Amino acid sequence: MMYNTFQNIEELEEFEVVPGIVGRMIHTDKMTMSFFKIAKGAVLPEHQHFHEQTSCIQSGDFQFTVDGKTKIVSAGDHIVIAPHTPHSALTDCTIIDVFVPSREDYK
């Protein structure tokens, strides 16, 4: 990653996090901004991490569970997830996730 550069998201390398969930990521010193495509039927199992996370749905619908609360989210919806909060998700959307600090485990 270089600072003060322009790039198209499609130029970024794809990274499959779990089957059917593919991300492209920008890692800076302090954050990770990630662009995910999630295939119909894909399941993101419940997990948690020490990173703070914001998520914004770009297209499609998505069943999101955070801290035991489940909602169908759609384009324009966002979620703010505290560090160490269990969350999971189901099926078929594009989404931007931002993590602070940056995801060393995705680099």
Window of 13-21, 36-44, 48-56 that interacts with its own copies by CB under 8 A: 48-56
φ, ψ at 11 (rounded to 5°): -80, -15
Q: Judged by CB under 8 A, does residue 56 bind its own copies? A: yes
| DSSP one-letter code for 19 | T
* Dihedral sign computed on CA atoms, order 68, 23, 37, 78: positive
- Only segment of 14-22, 40-48, 74-82 that touches its own copies (CB under 8 A): 74-82
Strand partners, 63: 72, 90
Question: Which tokens belong to 37?
Answer: 């495509």
Closest distance to its own copies from the beta carbon of 21 (Å): 19
Place of tokens 């593919």: 22
Q: Which residues in this chain contact its own copies in the complex, by CB under 8 A?
A: 1-10, 26, 28-31, 33, 35, 52, 54, 56, 64, 66-67, 69, 71, 73, 76-82, 85, 96, 98, 100-101
